[in-house]
C-alpha cells in the first residue's frame, strides 16, 4: 500500500532508517526523512531530508505537518548513560507524540527486546507480559510504549509498538537465532502498519518465523502481518557462537545487560513469571 499522505521517518541516517528509506521509496512512498546526522546515502526518489534534533519540538512539528504516518526510528540505539539517552529517547518521543496528536497521525514506535531483556531465555513471553528493561536504552523503550498507550487512551493516537529483536541481513550468533527478523519481513511489517484499517495501540513481536523464538502472542493478525522468513536455516552456521559471560547467556537482552551490571548474583525470576 502507498500512503496517500507523506510519511515522516526519523532516524533516517541509522541502519534501519537507511533500510526503510530505500525500500519504502522503491514502493512509491513519499518520505520526509530526518536525522541529527547527515544522510550517508543518496537521497531516494520522492524523499526529502531535513537535519533536525528530536529535542526541538518546533522542528518536529514542522516536519510532521501534513503527514498521516510517523515512523519514529530516531534516538540513541545502544546502551548509554541515562543523561545521554534522556533527551533523544525520552523527550524526543514525547515530541513525536505531540506532533502525531496535532496531525492525527498514526505512529510506528520501535520498541525493543531490551524493554523485556531481563527475562530469561527459557521464558516464552506474550504481548501483555510485564516490561522488564535491561538498561537505560530499554527503559526508554518501555517509556515509549507507555507514552503510546497514554496518547491512544487520551487522544486516540494510534500506534504499532514493534518490540524489535534483531533486524539484520543474517544471523551472527546463537542468541539471534531467537530474535532475528529478516529485512524482507521487517519491510512487510512496516507496510502493514500503514495499510491496516485500524491498529489502536498494538504490540508486535519483531521476529521472523523462528522456531527458537522467545515470543508468542501479539497483534499481528489484527494488522494482517505474517512473517515469511526464518532463522532456522542458519542454525548450523552459527552453532557454538556464544559468549563466556553467564549473564549475557542467561537473558534475552544479551550483551546490553552487562553494561554497569553490579549484582553478584541473578535477579529473581519468580517476580516476573510469564505463563
Q: How does the average pLDDT of the chain come out, rounded?
A: 96
What are 235's three cell numbers?
542454525
7-272 architecture in CATH?
3-Layer(aba) Sandwich (3.40)
- Report the distance separating Cα 234 and Cα 119, nearest Å: 24
25-70 residue pLDDT tens: 999 999 999 999 999 999 999 999 999 999 999 999 999 999 999 9
Q: What percent of the chain has pLDDT over 90?
A: 96
User: Which residue spans within 42-147 are E strands per DSSP?
Assistant: 47-51, 69-72, 106-112
Residue bearing cell 525470576: 269
CB 159 within 8 A of CB 101: no
Task: Enumerate the H helices of the chain as residue ranges.
Answer: 15-26, 57-64, 82-85, 92-103, 136-155, 176-179, 183-195, 220-223, 235-238, 246-250
Q: Is 97 a catalytic residue?
A: no
Backbone torsions φ then ψ of 7, nearest 5 degrees = -115, 125
137-146 residue pLDDT tens: 999 999 999 9
Domain chopping of the chain, boundaries = 7-272
For residue 192, what are the CA distances in angstroms to 29, 132, 137, 153, 222? 13, 27, 26, 22, 10
Among candidate residues 97, 137, 151, 251, the one labeled active-site is: 137
Instruction: Judge if pTM exceeds 0.85.
Output: yes
225-244 residue pLDDT tens: 999 999 999 999 999 999 99
Amino acid at each position: 500500500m502507498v500512503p496517500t499522505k507523506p510519511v515522516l521517518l526519523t532516524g533516517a541516517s541509522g541502519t534501519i532508517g537507511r533500510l526503510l528509506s530505500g525500500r519504502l521509496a522503491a514502493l512509491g512512498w513519499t518520505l520526509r526523512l530526518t536525522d541529527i546526522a547527515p544522510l550517508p546515502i543518496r537521497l531516494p526518489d520522492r524523499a526529502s531530508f531535513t537535519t533536525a534534533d528530536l529535542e526541538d519540538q518546533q522542528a518536529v512539528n514542522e516536519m510532521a505537518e501534513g503527514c498521516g504516518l510517523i515512523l519514529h526510528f530516531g534516538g540513541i540505539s545502544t546502551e548509554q548513560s541515562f543523561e545521554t539517552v534522556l533527551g533523544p529517547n525520552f523527550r524526543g518521543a514525547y515530541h513525536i507524540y505531540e506532533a502525531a496528536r496535532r496531525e492525527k497521525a498514526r505512529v510506528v514506535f520501535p520498541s525493543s527486546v531490551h524493554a523485556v531483556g531481563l527475562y530469561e531465555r527459557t521464558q516464552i513471553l506474550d504481548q501483555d507480559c510485564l516490561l522488564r528493561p535491561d538498561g537505560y536504552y530499554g527503559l526508554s523503550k518501555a517509556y515509549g510504549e507507555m507514552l503510546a498507550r497514554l496518547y491512544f487512551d487520551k487522544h486516540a493516537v494510534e500506534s504499532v509498538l514493534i518490540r524489535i529483536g534483531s533486524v539484520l541481513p543474517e544471523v551472527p550468533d546463537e542468541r539471534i537465532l531467537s530474535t532475528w527478523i529478516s529485512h524482507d519481513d521487517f519491510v512487510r511489517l512496516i507496510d502493514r502498519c500503514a495499510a491496516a484499517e485500524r491498529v489502536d495501540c498494538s504490540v508486535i513481536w519483531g521476529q521472523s518465523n523462528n522456531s527458537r523464538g522467545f515470543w508468542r502472542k501479539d497483534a499481528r493478525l489484527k494488522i494482517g502481518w505474517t512473517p515469511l522468513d526464518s532463522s532456522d536455516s542458519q542454525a548450523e552456521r552459527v552453532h557454538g557462537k556464544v559468549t563466556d559471560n553467564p549473564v549475557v547467556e542467561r537473558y534475552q537482552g544479551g550483551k546490553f545487560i552487562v553494561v554497569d551490571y553490579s549484582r553478584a548474583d541473578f535477579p529473581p525470576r519468580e517476580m516476573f513469571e510469564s505463563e
